[in-house]
Structure 1
Amino acid sequence: MQKIDRLIYLIAIFSLLFWFLFSILKIVAPTGTVTTDWGPLRLIPSFYGVYFETQPVSIYGIATIRNTAFFTEGPMYAFVLSVGLTSRIFLLDKTIKSSLLLMVTMITTMTSTAIIVIILTLFFSYLKTSRSQSINALKQLMLPFFSVILLSVFVFILEQKTQGGESFGVRMDDVHSAIKSWAQHPIIGNGIGNFQSLISNMNSVRIQFKTPIEIGFSSGLFQVFALGGIALTTIYVYPFFAFVVAQFKRNGINAIAFPTILLTVFTSSIVSYEWFFLVIVTMLYANSLKI
C-alpha cells in the first residue's frame, strides 16, 4: 500500500495544481481535445494530455469544472482518492494533518461521495485512542458535539441531493430497479453484464431515447446484487466483514474504519468491476486469513 499511497498522493498534487491553474484561473487555453463515449459521445478539452475537463457543473448557479484529473468523471476520481485517504489514515497509520492535501483534492471533485468519505474518515479518526489518558477523556467528553457537527454536514449534503432532484431521483430509481431485477433471480442474479435486466425495471421517462451507456447506473453494490444475486454479493461483501473480525483485536478501530468506508463507496459508486477495487477487495480477504 505504500507505493499505491505515494502514487495517489502524486496524482492528487498535480491534478489540484492543474485544476486551479487551468480550470479556475484559466491561465492556459486547452491544448487539444479528446473524444469520450462515457455518456453521450462528445469532445472534452485536454491540457498537455495529462489533465482533462470532463465535467462542467453548476453549483448554486456558478459554472465551474470538476477536478477529474485524467479520469472519465468526478466519482471515479473520488473513489481513487477515497482509497488513498482511508488507506493512509487507517492502514498506514498516518495523520489527518499529513492528508489534508488529499482531502482538499477530494472536495474539488465536487461529489457527495468524496464529502461523505471525508466525514467518515474524520469520525473514525476521532475515535482512535491516544496514548494520553487526558486526551482520551477529553475526546469522550467532546464526542457528542463532534458527532452532531459531522451529522449536520451529512444531513445538509443529503438535503441538497434531495432538493437537486435529478441526481437523487436517479439513485433511488437505480435501487428500485436493482431490487426488482434481483427478485426475478435472487440466488444467481440476472447475469454479469446483463444491464438490460436493470434497464427494463427503470423509470420509462428516464430511459426514453437513450442508449445504455447514456443511462448508466450509480451503485456498485446494487449492480452486483441484481446481476449476481445472493451468490456473487456474498463473494463481494464477505471480505469486508472477515477483515474486521480478523484484524479488530490487533488494529482496533482501524480494522472497522477502512472496510466500512470502502463499503460505503462501493454502495454509492459504480466500481464493481474496476480492477483497482477488485485488488482492494482481494487484499481485504487475504488479510482476513489466519496463516
Structure 2
Amino acid sequence: MLQVIMFSKKRIEYFTALFILLECNTVYAVALPTNGILVIVAIMGLLVLSMLELKKKAYINAQLGVFFLFYYINAGVAFLHADNKLGFICRFLLCFPCLIFYLSLKSAEDRYKLLFKIVNIMFVEAIISIVFYSLGTWMNFIEPSGAIMINWGEYHSVTSYYGIYFDSQPFRNSGFFAEAPMHSYCLSIALLVELFLKPRHDKWRVLILSVAILTTISTTGFLVLVSVAGFCILKKWYNVSSRVKILTFLFVAAMGLELYQIACGVVKEKQETRSYEIRNYYIEKEIDAWLSHPILGTGFGKNVKGSSNSLFVVLADGGVHFFILYFGALIYFPMAVWIRMKRLDYLIFYLIYVGMFCITVICYNVLTLMILALSLSPLIQRKHLCNYINAK
C-alpha cells in the first residue's frame, strides 16, 4: 500500500509541477484560463497522499491551528477589499494555504522536491525551445504547423510549432509562454534552484538553462545571469590565494564597469521609448493608489494590468497589510535561516528572487506563491514530525 501511495504521489507531483508552470502566462493558460483550479486539485491530491503516508495524525499540532487561524482572519479582511474575488479565493484561500500545509509535512530535504521537478520540466522545455528558436524562428528549417488565437494584450494569432513551441514575440524565445519575459522568469527560477537549492548541480543543465535565458532577450534574465555570476565569484572568493583575489577583483571591476556602461545605454534607450514612459506612469499610479489606502490597499487585482513591478502592485493592491506577507516570506525568514543555520545558498536564492520580483509582475502567479510557501512552511512544522518523516 505504501509503495502504491509513493508511486502515485511522484506522478501527481510531476502533474502539479507542470500545472504550476502552465499557470505562468503560458499560451495554453491564456487560451483556456483555469484560475489555478488544476493546481488546487493536484495539490489537494498530494496532501491526501502525504497524510495517508504518515499513517497517523502527526501533522496536527498547535502551531498549525494558530498559524491558519491568524492567516485566514487576515485573508478574510483582504478578501472583503478584493476586486477580483474569484482569483483571490483560488490563490489565497485555497492554493497558497494548501501549499504551505503540504510543504510543512516534508522534511528539510524533501521540501524542495516539487521545485526540483519544476527544474526537470523546464530543462526539457529549454532544450525544445532552443531547437525550435534556432531552427524555426531564425533559420526557417522547421516550418510552423499552424496558429492559435490568444487574448493577450489584444486578441491575436500566435504561430505554433506542433503545439509545443510558439512565436509569441518576434525574434525572442518565448517557448510555450505568451511572452518572452515570463519564459525568462521560469527559466531563471529553474537555474536558481539548480545552483542554490540542489545539493549538487549539473553543469549541462546550468549551461542549457543559461543559453535559453539569453535567447529570451529579457532584461530580467540578463540581470539574473549577472547576479548568479557575481554571487558564484563571491562564494569562491575566500577559497583562493591573495594573488588570485587581486586578479579576480580587477577582472570583476572591469566587467562591472563594462556592464554599467551597457546598463546606462539600455536605460538611455528605454528612456527614449514609449515603454519607459508607460512603466513610469504605472509606478506613479500604484504609489498614488497605495498612499490613498496605505493599510489595506485598493483591493486584490486592481493594479496588475499594465504594470511591470510586483513590489508596487502588492503595496497598491493590499497595502502594508499584504506587503508584510511578502516581506516576511522573501526577506525576513530567509535572513533568519541564514543567520541561524548559515545557509548562504538559500539566502542568495531569495535575494536574486527579490530582484526579479521588483522588475517583473509575478506577485500572484502560483510559482511565486510556492516560493512564499517554501519560506513560511517551517513555521508550522513540529520537530518530532521532521524526525518521524526522516526516520521513514
TM-score computed with the length of structure 1 as normaliser: 0.82
Give unmatched runs, 5+ long, in structure 2. 1-114, 384-392
Structure 1 match to 2:19 = none
Q: 1:238 aligns with which of 328, 333, 342?
A: 328
Deviations 1:163-222 (A, max 9, x none): 3x1222221111111001111110000000224xx8xxxxxxxxxxxxxxxx62211221
Q: Report SS of the residue matched to 2:362.
A: coil
Cα distance, 1:106–1:118 mapped onto 2, change above 3 Å: same
Alignment of 1:1-291 (within 5 A): 1-56=115-170, 65-92=171-198, 94=201, 99-129=206-236, 132-134=239-241, 139-140=248-249, 142-163=251-272, 165-195=273-303, 216-241=306-331, 242-248=333-339, 250-251=341-342, 253-286=344-377
Cα distance, 1:139–1:285 mapped onto 2, change above 3 Å: farther
Cα distance, 1:101–1:51 mapped onto 2, change above 3 Å: same
Kindly state the Cα deviation for residue 159 of structure 1 after the two structures are TM-superposed. Answer: 3.0
Kindly state the Cα deviation for residue 248 of structure 1 after the two structures are TM-superposed. Answer: 4.5
Contact conserved, 1:248 with 1:256, CA < 8 A, in 2? no
Bigger Cα Rg: 2
Cα RMSD of the aligned pairs, angstroms, is 2.5
Write 1 or 2 for the structure with the bigger share of helix: 2
**Bigger relative contact order (CA 8 A; separation at least 6):** 2
For residues 286 and 172 of structure 1, the distance between their equivalents in structure 2, rounded to whole angstroms, comes to 36
Contact conserved, 1:79 with 1:114, CA < 8 A, in 2? yes
Equivalent position amino acid for 2:260 in 1: L
Equivalent position amino acid for 1:38 in 2: W
Give unmatched runs, 5+ long, in structure 1. 57-64, 199-214
For residues 378 and 338 of structure 2, the distance between their equivalents in structure 1, rounded to whole angstroms, comes to 8
Contact conserved, 1:19 with 1:67, CA < 8 A, in 2? yes
**Percent identity for Structure 1 against Structure 2:** 27
Contact conserved, 2:283 with 2:307, CA < 8 A, in 1? no
For residues 248 and 340 of structure 2, the distance between their equivalents in structure 1, rounded to whole angstroms, comes to 22
Contact conserved, 2:295 with 2:321, CA < 8 A, in 1? yes
Deviations 1:36-67 (A, max 9, x none): 101110111111111111112xxxxxxxx211
Deviations 1:126-158 (A, max 9, x none): 111368432556545654334334434433433
Equivalent position amino acid for 2:275 in 1: S
Kindly state the Cα deviation for residue 28 of structure 1 after the two structures are TM-superposed. Answer: 2.8
Kindly state the Cα deviation for residue 117 of structure 1 after the two structures are TM-superposed. Answer: 1.2
For residues 250 and 139 of structure 1, the distance between their equivalents in structure 2, rounded to whole angstroms, comes to 29
Cα distance, 1:161–1:96 mapped onto 2, change above 3 Å: farther
